[in-house]
């Protein structure tokens, strides 16, 4: 049997400055504040479970009958749910406490490595140790090898802490999902005795986004030599902002382009489609908004409101009709779409002509034409 190929060794840096990242993400103090909060909830869930058990027992002496039996069944299910919550919370508290302690220890190990590096003349910053040249591989040197080993050890411990935390959370995630799908889940509560504070509501809505940003910015231990891969926040968020901008532009363009073509189903048949499609195309939100803006400008410049509305509407309709007619005609007669600029120019000319004609032909409505009953 052919022996398996040896695992290739990590590439040795060919030269240049060697830097090891020593930043350790995670805030043990904040993590322990979280576990204190969770411990409080676990205690309250336990007290509720105990009270529900007492309620079942006490109710047997004071209340009997079918309704009482149903009530006790429901209280027992609630007690089981509360008990499950207590256990899940306790296990998560334990896992997070252990994780916080491990991160604290890793930070201390990194601090020791930095101290040693500083003592032998390395450049030490908050997040990195830079070994002086001309080292080829700091892991093979004397003191630099010792520093690298300390950092590697700390990284392995950090990595193990993350693995253990994730495993513990994954175990309880499946439990929590089973609770959610249990029949004890409340269908709806119109009037709540127990009001959720806005802070808790906000946490539920925003914590995940915030935490994802923290995770993206974190350094992740990649190998035992202290070599790291940073999920580069700048790259991620730089790309995200450009992407978000593009998305916003696409979104606004899609909203402006929304109109008749989106909700009218063209009739079957190629000929009908060629006629209906171009006729609907100009009737969009953006063209309507432009017509509306024109009406507004007319009114601001002193045109009577009724005249401005008629003029704007007629111009818009005429422009749209011209555009549709030209496009449909071009498609039908020439078999190809006419250039967009020709369409726009023709629509503008017709639209302006209609507007001008209305300007010339407009006769103001007599002041008493619409009056009923002789005014005041």
**Cα 149 → chain centroid:** 39
Nearer to other proteins, 173 or 250 (CB): 173
Position 53 contacts other proteins (CB under 8 A): no
Question: Both tokens of residue 243?
Answer: 């992407």
Token pair listed for 287: 């063209």
Footprint of other proteins on 8-27 (CB under 8 A):
24-27
List the structure tokens of 144: 């630099």
* Contact present, 215 and 25 (Cβ < 8 Å): no
Question: Per CB under 8 A, does 30 bind other proteins?
Answer: yes
Rounded Cα–Cα distance for residues 183 and 181 (Å): 7
d(CA 348, CA 32): 68
Residue choice 90, 184, 286, 303 for contact with other proteins (CB under 8 A): 184
Instruction: Output Rg (C-alpha) for the chain, integer angstroms.
Output: 37
Is 90 a residue that touches other proteins (CB under 8 A)? no
Residue closer to other proteins by CB (options 221, 280) is: 221
CB atoms within 10 A of CB 239: 11
# residues contacting other proteins (CB under 8 A): 81
Q: Which helix (H) or strand (E) holds 59?
A: helix 28-62
- If one asks whether residue 253 binds other proteins (CB under 8 A), the answer comes out as no
Which of 290, 288, 291 lies closest to 280 in space, CA to CA? 288
**Separation of first and last alpha carbons in the chain:** 110
CB of 27 to other proteins, least distance (A): 4
Task: Give the residue, chosen from 20, 21, 52, 129, that forms a contact with other proteins under the rule CB under 8 A.
Answer: 52
Applying the rule CB under 8 A, the residues between 54 and 83 that interact with other proteins are: 54-55, 58-59, 62-69, 71, 74-75, 78, 81-82
Q: Which of 147, 156, 174 is nearest to 106 (CA)?
A: 156
Q: Which of 58, 93, 90, 83 is nearest to 72 (CA)?
A: 58
Question: Nearest distance from residue 128's CB to other proteins, in Å?
Answer: 17
Q: Contact with other proteins (CB under 8 A): which of 116, 136, 169, 285?
A: 169
Among 172, 260, 266, 277, binds other proteins (CB under 8 A): 172
Nearer to other proteins, 143 or 184 (CB): 184
Q: In whole angstroms, how close is the CB of 251 to other proteins at the nearest point?
A: 26
Nearest to 113 by CA among 160, 137, 159, 148: 148
User: How is residue 285 written in tokens?
Assistant: 């939100």
Does 123 contact other proteins by CB under 8 A? no
Which of the residues 215 through 244 are near other proteins (CB under 8 A)?
215, 218-220, 231
Stretch of 8-16, 146-154, 178-186, 364-372 contacting other proteins, by CB under 8 A: 178-186
Distances in Å between the Cα of 367 and the Cα atoms of 157, 370, 374 are 88, 7, 11
**Residue among 182 and 262 whose Cβ is closer to other proteins:** 182
Q: Is 126 in the site for other proteins (CB under 8 A)?
A: no
Instruction: Give min distance, CB of 43 to other proteins, in A.
Output: 7
Of 29 and 336, nearer to other proteins (C-beta) is 29
What would the two tokens of residue 101 be? Answer: 């302690």
Six-digit token pair at 258?
């929304």
Q: Is 156 in the site for other proteins (CB under 8 A)?
A: no
Should residue 260 be labelled a site residue for other proteins when binding is judged by CB under 8 A?
no
How far is Cα 12 from Cα 147, in angstroms, rounded to an integer? 17
Segment near other proteins (CB under 8 A), from 42-50, 132-140, 296-304, 331-339? Answer: 42-50
Q: What is the CB neighbour count within 10 angstroms for residue 87? A: 16
Q: Give the footprint of other proteins on residues 302-321 (CB under 8 A).
A: none
């Amino acid at each position: 049997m052919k022996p398996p190929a040896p695992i290739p060794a990590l590439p040795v840096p060919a030269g240049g400055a060697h830097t090891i990242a020593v930043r350790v993400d995670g805030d043990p103090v904040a993590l322990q504040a979280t576990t204190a909060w969770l411990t409080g909830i676990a205690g309250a869930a336990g007290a509720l479970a105990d009270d529900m058990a007492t309620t079942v027992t006490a109710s047997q002496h004071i209340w009997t009958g079918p309704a009482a039996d149903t009530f006790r069944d429901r209280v027992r299910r609630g007690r089981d749910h509360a008990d499950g919550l207590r256990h899940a919370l306790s296990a998560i508290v334990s896992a997070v406490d252990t994780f916080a302690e491990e991160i604290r220890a890793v930070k201390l190990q990194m601090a020791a490595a930095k101290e040693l590096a500083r003592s032998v003349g390395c450049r030490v910053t908050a997040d990195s140790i830079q070994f002086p040249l001309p080292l080829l591989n700091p892991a093979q040197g004397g003191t630099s090898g010792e520093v690298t080993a300390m950092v590697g050890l700390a990284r392995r411990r950090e990595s193990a802490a993350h693995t253990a935390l994730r495993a513990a959370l994954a175990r309880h995630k499946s439990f929590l999902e089973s609770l959610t799908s249990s029949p004890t889940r409340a269908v709806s509560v119109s009037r709540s005795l127990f009001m959720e504070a806005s802070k808790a509501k906000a946490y539920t809505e925003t914590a995940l986004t915030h935490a994802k940003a923290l995770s993206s910015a974190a350094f992740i231990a990649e190998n035992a030599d202290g070599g790291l891969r940073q999920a580069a926040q700048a790259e991620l968020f730089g790309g995200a902002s450009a992407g978000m901008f593009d998305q916003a532009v696409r979104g606004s363009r899609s909203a402006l382009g929304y109109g008749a073509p989106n909700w009218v189903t063209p009739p079957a048949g190629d000929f009908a489609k060629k006629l209906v499609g171009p006729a609907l195309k100009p009737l969009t939100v953006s063209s309507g908004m432009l017509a509306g803006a024109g009406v507004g400008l007319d009114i601001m410049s002193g045109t009577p409101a009724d005249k401005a509305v008629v003029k704007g509407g007629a111009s818009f309709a005429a422009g749209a009709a011209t555009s549709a007619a030209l496009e449909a005609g071009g498609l039908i007669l020439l078999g190809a779409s006419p250039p967009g600029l020709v369409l726009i120019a023709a629509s503008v000319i017709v639209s302006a002509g209609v507007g001008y004609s209305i300007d010339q032909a407009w006769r103001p409505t007599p002041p008493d034409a619409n009056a009923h009953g002789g005014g005041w």
